[in-house]
Structure 1
């Protein structure tokens, strides 16, 4: 096991039409691709990490409180994994998650900030992270920058990331390639 797929914030609140902070159609269109990548990584014996944003209702100290409407509130359906990705996760969870699958809460944009993600990856000899999920120019970008700073090889799946704005999405894809030397697998 030397690779990990990190599925970032693919939740109801970020993807569903009725989500509290939704990417809408752009996020919905990547559902099948992400689910296929999850299956492929598992079939190949690689690690899969579901990094899921969490907030506490009424938390006035969290910096996002001033930036965004309440979303991904602990204990709400807004945090449920969306669509086929959610179905795949539910199937995995039914028998107890395999040791190479991890579900983790994150409270900041980066999946590395305040979590034990780096320890999980390093303990398994993982040197290459593949990133999918939302939002390309927010949580995916911050996770990629942290992965770069920690010395991981980075692969971003263009067909597996989306954002609120096409401008932000395109900026992030260029940043991945040109600034942190990530491989961007084009659609």
Structure 2
């Protein structure tokens, strides 16, 4: 990856990936572990940016729209919000690298209510590689915002998973046909 590119590992947590997760994508998400680590390691070796926007919630928050839609998930300081599998180990080993960082997000998009756009522009990043879960929710909304903010977007289809196969297929087609993203 070039200096103007960043890898975003979106919401790869126990609650979204582990069999016992509150809102899990299950086996399809678990199978992404190796692909995500390979990409993250490649980016790090190239001295690129690895960013982990990670969903965080307060249980039964009456003001958050997801409270009505989904069971409590990714609660701050819970097992469910911890990174899953090899991604957890990779992050632990690399979290002190200034080009690897995790930050809280409270909405589907990694851009909504965060300083992500400012951080990316400060670093002259114009191309985003998106991986993680859920393809048709948080990855999709991040890609839509990236499109609206004029970022080039690359989706690694062997490194994203959705709650359903239909959602996965729809989102992959939407990335390519509506957002002009490269789907590799």
Alignment TM-score, normalising by the size of structure 1: 0.96
Instruction: Give the aligned partner of residue 91 of structure 2.
Output: 89
Offset of residue 58 of structure 1: 2.4
Q: Distance in 2 between matches of 1:39 and 1:49?
A: 12
1:120 and 2:119 aligned? yes
Q: Which residue of 1 aligns with 2:33?
A: 31
> Shift in Å at residue 73 of structure 1?
0.5
Are the equivalent residues in 2 in contact too, given 1:57–1:74 (CA < 8 A)? no
Please report how far the alpha carbon of residue 75 of structure 1 lies from its aligned counterpart in structure 2 after TM superposition.
Answer: 1.3
Aligned to 1:169: 168
Task: Name 2:19's counterpart in structure 1.
Answer: 17
Residue equivalent to 1:138:
137
| Alpha-carbon offset, residue 29 of structure 1 | 0.6
Q: Cα deviations across residues 45-91 of structure 1 (Å, max 9, x unaligned)? A: 11110010000122111000000000000111111000001100011
Tell me what 1:2 maps to. 4
For the residues of structure 1 that align with 2:15 and 2:78, how far apart are their CA atoms?
Answer: 10
Q: 1:92 Cα shift?
A: 1.1
The number of residue pairs the alignment matches comes to 182
Q: 3-state DSSP class of the match of 2:77?
A: coil
Q: 5+ residue gaps in structure 2?
A: none
Q: Which runs of 5+ in 1 are unaligned?
A: none
SS in 1 for 2:138: helix
What is the TM-score of this pair, normalised by structure 2?
A: 0.97
1:99 is displaced (CA, Å) by 1.8
Q: Distance in 1 between matches of 2:76 and 2:94?
A: 21
Structure 1 stretches of 4+ with a deviation exceeding 2 A read none
1:42 corresponds to which residue?
44
What corresponds to 2:64 in structure 1?
62
Do residues 180 (structure 1) and 179 (structure 2) align?
yes
d(CA) in 2 for partners of 1:100, 1:30:
22
CA-atom RMSD in angstroms: 0.7
Q: Distance in 1 between matches of 2:47 and 2:102?
A: 17
Partner of 2:158: 159
Instruction: Verify the 8 A CA contact 1:5 1:49 in the aligned structure 2.
Output: yes
2:87, 2:183 → 1: CA distance? 21
* CA contact 1:107–1:114 (8 Å) conserved in 2: yes
